[in-house]
Each structure stands twice: as structure tokens, then as C-alpha cells.
Amino acid sequence: MVIRTLAALSATAILFTACSQNDGSPAEDETGTPHAADTASAKIVAGGTATVDSLGLSLSPGETYRYKVTQTNETSTDSANAVQTSVHVYKKRIKARRADGTIEYGMTMEKIDIVAKVTARPSGTVVNDQKYSSSDSSQQKDERYLMFNALIGEEVTVIVTPRAVVQEISGLTPIVNKMIGSRQVDANVRAQVLKEIESTVYGAFTELEHLRFPTEKLDSTKSWKVTQSAPLMNAFVIDSDIIYAVKNVKELKGRRAADVDATLRGRITVRPLPKGAPIRISIDSSSLSGVSHTLLDVEKGYTIYKKNDIATYIRGRASSPATNQTEKIGQISRLSYTVELIP
């Protein structure tokens, strides 16, 4: 696996989701925006203070938030093992809160570090080993990393609903221009690049940052269920059920924060292939499971800390009607990621 994706993301991660620096360090501030590093001092509250009947985004213009997202994706097939780790740091600047409840903010990628390594099975021979860091001055001028360098420092506008569902992403043209550089490409290619950036970077990180907010007020169980479907690797479909539950409410730097746990269960099926497709795919067995923990501000809905672990397994067959040959296919993968609100 060569470093060529815009972000180290997995489609299964998208299923399970959904500030400028302060003058003082978090340890010096007794009140204000809590950060991931402050969670050790959180205290569980009880009684009326622990009441949570709704959750959603309620951010205000002028607020800023900085996030660090760390991901590790391990994938094994019959012929290779691949491990990719990444760290992304980005800032969100809240621009407007509209009458319909939607929130507009600017999102700026500040730092990207990626390490990818592929080893052959069963020999263990390293067939690919690459590293990228946006802080490496030599790589900043390397055209091989235009796809990453073009993201750094450019503010993109994102509009989301109070449930953190993306409605619009704009301002990507400067990034596309930098990625394409002096090459002459037609409008279709530019549109494709823009769409790829929109979905795999800004849309995807918005999904990773948030849990799936409830659509209705919470009852006495403080739990809710989300059922959804999403494509995987162009050949499969993931159908999943996610059950969320508020476990407790904590006081953190004078604010209320909800501890939310979640479990994911799903199945993987084959997407219908167009007539005349060169291969046919069937699944013999598959599994999808995951667990998640999120700490978020009760009143404003922003994520303070989030950790997800997701495992997928696929075993099946790919056949060619033209040659009448069948090949066994299989993949085991595990994706772990954390989202941290940082100063």
C-alpha cells in the first residue's frame, strides 16, 4: 500500500462516528473549554445535574477548537500485511449559526504525519515503507506529496446540521489548484479531485470527530440506536446497527460532560455489479464489530475525547466469467483511532 490516499481513513470508521491556542495552559484554567488532557480531573455528578435529555451541536460564532486525530489501520490478506498510522491536527473556527440551526465553520489542516509499511506474507519481506510529515521541509517541496502539502494552511468552509451531518463543503478550489499544479487537466478530472478531497478529508474528519447524535429527546434509558448503510471498497456494502448509551455525566472545568459508550454490529454484503463486469464476487463469511467511547460537552455538543476500535473480516471468492477461474479472497482489518480536543 503506497501513501496515496488523501487521509488514512476506512469506510467502517465513517459508519461509527458521525480553537486557537489559549493564553494559559489547561492546568492553569479552572474554567473554560475543557480539553482531552483535563479528563483525569473530571468528577461524576448526580441528581438533577446529571440529567441529559438531548444532545446536539450548539456552537457559537467566534469559538475555536483544535483537534488531534490519531489513526492506526492494520490490514492482513493472504499475501501481505499493511500497517498505516497517521496523525492529523486541524482547527475549526466557528463563523455563523444560522436561523435553521445549521453551523458554518472554517476548517484548517495544520499538521499531517503518516507512516505506511507493507510486508509480504509469509516471507516478511518489506515491500513498501514510506513516511510523510508536513513539518519536513524537504517533503514540502516534493511533488510526490502534493496531495498532502496542498491541504496545509488552507481554510475550507463546512456547514453542518445540529446533528453534525455535513450539508455543504466549499472553498476547495485553492487546494485543487495546488494539487494539480502546472499540469493541464480537463474539467472532469478537476471535479473528481475536488469531490475526493471533499469526501475523504473534510467530510470524513467531521464524521470521525462526532458521534451520531440522537434524532429525538432521550428517554430514561439515555440510549438510542442508529441503523445505516455505507459502501466499502466499491464492491461491498456494510449494514450496521450502533447502540449509544450515556453512562454518566461529569463536571469538567465548570462544564457538564457526558460519557457515551457505543457498540457496533454489522454485516457485509456484495454490491450489485454492472452487466459485463470482468469479475464476480461472492462472500462466504464476514463480520463487523466495534466499540466506542466519547466524552462530549452536554450543552454545546463538541467532542472532548473519543476512542474507537473497529474490526472487519471478509472471506469470499472472485471469479472471472471470461476465463472461468475462481480465486479465494480474504481480508482482516482493524482500525483504531482517537480524537482529542487540544489547546
- 59-80 pLDDT, tens digit per residue, is 999 999 999 999 999 999 989 9
Q: How far is CA 281 from CA 52, 183, 266, 321, 326, in A?
A: 46, 37, 19, 11, 9
pLDDT for residue 13: 44
β partners of residue 285: 315
How far is 75 from 55, CA to CA, in rounded Å? 35
Backbone angles phi, psi at 44, to 5 degrees: -70, 135
11: nearest Cα among 340, 335, 342, 338: 335
Quote the mean pLDDT of the chain: 89
Taking only the tens place, the pLDDT of each residue in 26-41 is 333 445 788 988 888 8
Q: pTM of the full predicted structure?
A: 0.86
C-alpha cell at 140: 514540502
Q: What is the DSSP letter of 5?
A: S
Query: Which of the pair, 234 or 245, is modelled with greater confidence?
Result: 245
Model confidence at 212, pLDDT cuts 50, 70, 90, reads very high
Taking only the tens place, the pLDDT of each residue in 152-203 is 999 999 999 999 999 999 999 999 999 998 788 899 999 999 999 999 999 9
Strands 166-170 and 223-232: what pairing?
unpaired
Q: Can you give 197-233 as a three-state secondary structure string?
A: HHHHHHHHHHHHHCCCCCCCCCCCCCEEEEEEEEEEC
Taking only the tens place, the pLDDT of each residue in 80-133 is 999 999 999 999 999 999 999 999 999 999 999 999 999 999 999 999 999 999
49: nearest Cα among 288, 260, 245, 249: 249
Residues 6+ apart with CB under 8 A from 111: 87, 88, 89, 134, 135, 152
Fold classification of 41-46+54-342 is: Lipovitellin-phosvitin complex; beta-sheet shell regions (2.30.230)
For 110, left (φ over 0), alpha (ψ -120 to 50), or beta? alpha
Is residue 225 scored above 50 in pLDDT?
Answer: yes
Query: In the chain, pLDDT over 90 holds for what percent of residues?
Result: 75
How far is 204 from 89, CA to CA, in rounded Å? 14
Model confidence at 136, pLDDT cuts 50, 70, 90, reads very high
